[in-house]
Chain A
């Protein structure tokens, strides 16, 4: 069974702080995606990383794919209340999409 473990499960920080969310597995993924979900809505794709060691930036969000394509991280700089939401990672392996359990992030003003 392929698992994708996200940590932390829950994070509550003050506006302006930095944070990192992790997504780890023992499996190798052909690609990995990060999604953000707001309450009562469907997840929205933020980024897809494909190459080992790849780094992608989306404004204050930095996504990195591990060299061995088994793990990924999401770093948010100077978090804002609008970053609040559930962050989900999903990896593609053997033509299946494997989901992490999510990190619930709350940014307090």
Chain B
């Protein structure tokens, strides 16, 4: 069966510090991978998606970037965090933009 791992679960970072969130998927090959951000108790905003190694599409201009160095690894990064980067970040995998299967999420607080 497929599983998705996302870490860390919570993170507190100072303004201007770098960020690296990692997500890995097991039990499937060549998945579509997604990074979402979610405001408290609300819907999901798609940040990045990837259909293959090294292929990244950005949906929203921002202070963040994403990379996919391996088939089942997706990384969300920032060189300098802003206060507005605080939020709940979710990694997900899927096939051909159908159902999405989510990790447990990372609560990022920028202070």
| Chain A interface extent, by class | 20 to 34
Query: In the bound complex, do residue B94 and residue A97 qualify as a contact, i.e. CB atoms below 8 Å apart?
Result: yes
User: Which of B43, B94, B102 sits near A44, CB closer than 8 Å?
Assistant: B102
Which single member of A42, A86, A104 contacts B102 (CB below 8 Å)?
Answer: A42
Interface residues of B (CB under 8 A from A): 6, 41-44, 46, 90, 92, 94, 96-105, 107
Which A27-65 residues have C-beta < 8 A from chain B?
A: 31, 33, 40-45, 48
Q: Judge whether A1 is part of the interface by a CB distance below 8 angstroms.
A: no
Q: Point out residues on A near B: beta carbons under 8 Å.
A: 6, 31, 33, 40-45, 48, 86, 88, 90, 92, 95-97, 99-102, 104
B98 and A31 contacting across the interface, CB-CB below 8 Å? yes
Complex Cα gap A41–B101 (Å): 12
- The answer to whether B97 and A95 have CB atoms under 8 Å apart is yes
- Contact with A86, one of B41, B94, B101 (Cβ below 8 angstroms): B41
Which residues of chain B are within 8 angstroms of A90 by Cβ–Cβ distance?
100
